[in-house]
Homo-oligomer: A and B are copies of this chain.
């Protein structure tokens, strides 16, 4: 392994000069700097992150915590994780996935990335001793990253209107969480502006729950109805049941999903959906946490990223 000292010898300087070239290049003369940089190149020097970490009282590790009890096979999270990994890689940070709740405080690490947080978890956050960023909007002052859920709701609703569907119904998730209300708000606002009456169903986030609600209420849905769904899971169930009812999708009935990860593409009909830039969100999440760690825990605020509408086969 090539160390600072090796470089220092080669460049005929002390190892501190080398260290400075790396961390505070402005403090060293151009002449020496170039000499040192050349030596680093020739020796293919790479800093030892472990040694840096030790002296900086850092670990270069962050924990990824999934609070939601969900199926971790949900592809959604895989994308997020890769985005996070990308963000962390710039500073050579590594991830520990927390699989047991008991591991949350275990070991050495510099901070948390937390996903699947519910309002009921807020008390828990206040006891955390290291900096953290949430994935998912909240309005209690915790730093977070999310897609702009309200904007997403608007996007879907406006598109349904533009395709001249006459009745626009929202099929939401029955959780009392900000992300859900924000999507609904985007839907409601847009309808009101267009002098239409909002109509909302709230169900469990499963395709069969969606099938159920369509089955039970199908007689109430006139032709030219578009369903704005709060997730692709729900949208998949809606499409499936509409087809079972021999309804024509997308000619008579439209369906718009939300998320745009994997599920939207395995559905029998490729879904029109509000796509979250999950990878990018993961990257941002990582960047924010690293900055927060650098700044010794100072607040980072919120970061909302705009989702986009992907037009496919479930709308006309």
Contacts and interface: CB of A to CB of B under 8 A. Distances in A.
A95 to B, nearest CB: 5
Interface stretch (A32-40, A70-78, A164-172): A70-78
A89 B103 contact: yes
Contact of A50 (B1, B50, B96, B240): B50
A86 B106 contact: no
Contact of A75 (B50, B73, B103): B73
Nearest to A62: B94
Contacts of A60: 50, 61
A108 interface: yes
A155 interface: no
A240 B236 CA distance: 14
Please classify the interface of chain A as helix (H, G, I), strand (E, B), loop, or mixed, using the class held by over half of its residues: mixed
A263 interface: yes
> So how many copies of this chain end up in the complex?
2
A266 interface: yes
A81 to B, nearest CB: 7
Contact of A73 (B85, B109, B261): B261
A220 to B, nearest CB: 24
Interface stretch (A14-22, A51-59, A182-190, A248-256): A51-59
Contacts of A263: 266
Given A89-B106, A95-B94, A96-B94, A75 B262 contact: yes
A14 B50 CA distance: 25
A125 interface: no
A34 to B, nearest CB: 24
Q: Which 6 A-B pairs give the minimum distances between C-beta atoms?
A: A85-B97, A94-B94, A73-B75, A92-B107, A73-B262, A78-B78
Given A49-B59, A85-B97, 9 more contacts: A50-B53, A50-B54, A50-B58, A72-B78, A75-B75, A81-B81, A85-B98, A89-B107, A240-B268
Interface of A: 1, 46, 48-51, 53-54, 57-61, 71-79, 81-82, 85-86, 88-89, 92-99, 103, 106-109, 207, 236, 240, 261-263, 266, 268
